[in-house]
Amino acid sequence: MKELYAIPNPHIRYAVTKTFFGARMIEGSSVREHGVMMLSLVEKIKDLQADLEKEETYVDVILQSLPPSYDQFIINYNMNGLEKSLHELINILVQYEATIEKSTPSVLVERFQPLKQRARMPDARRGRKMRRFLLLLALRVVLLHS
């Protein structure tokens, strides 16, 4: 009965490898969670005997799945010839994520309209925008000095 309703291995292998090669980390999400998901997919691929032979292939796919904020890490990883296991790679990525978060200041950004559109605004609205801008500027100064 189990054999009758079981999903054939090629279908499972296809779904797992498609998920693995198509995985993309969303900017701002946790690299630890992404790494754990990628490691579990690697284990499933190995269990299904769809092994990609070299661990470097798995490392390349994981590095390609990272968002642009990790480009500098990828360049350093490849330039320095680091050859780490998958678990070591994920640990290094988690450490790198912590340094990114510490070095990136949280700054409020005000969207500005082009000069022509600002010139056409009624005076009352222009005054509100200026007060809002000054308030955001004051908040930015407070946040940067705290």
Which of 77, 70, 87, 84 lies closest to 36 in space, CA to CA? Answer: 87
80 domain-assigned: yes
Per-residue pLDDT of the chain (146 residues; tens, 9 = 90+): 445 555 567 778 778 888 888 899 998 899 999 999 999 988 888 888 776 777 888 888 899 899 999 999 988 888 887 788 889 999 999 999 998 877 765 554 555 555 555 555 555 566 677 777 766 666 666 565 54
What is the domain extent for residue 94? 2-103
Q: Compute how many other C-beta atoms are within 10 angstroms of the C-beta atom of residue 138.
A: 10
Q: Which tokens belong to 61?
A: 């796919």
108 domain-assigned: no
d(CA 141, CA 139): 5
Tokens 């340094």 found at = 99
Domain check: are 78 and 13 in the same one? yes
90 domain-assigned: yes
Query: Hey, what long-range contacts does 96-104 have (CB within 8 A, 24 or more apart)?
Result: 96/31, 96/70, 97/30, 97/31, 97/32, 100/69
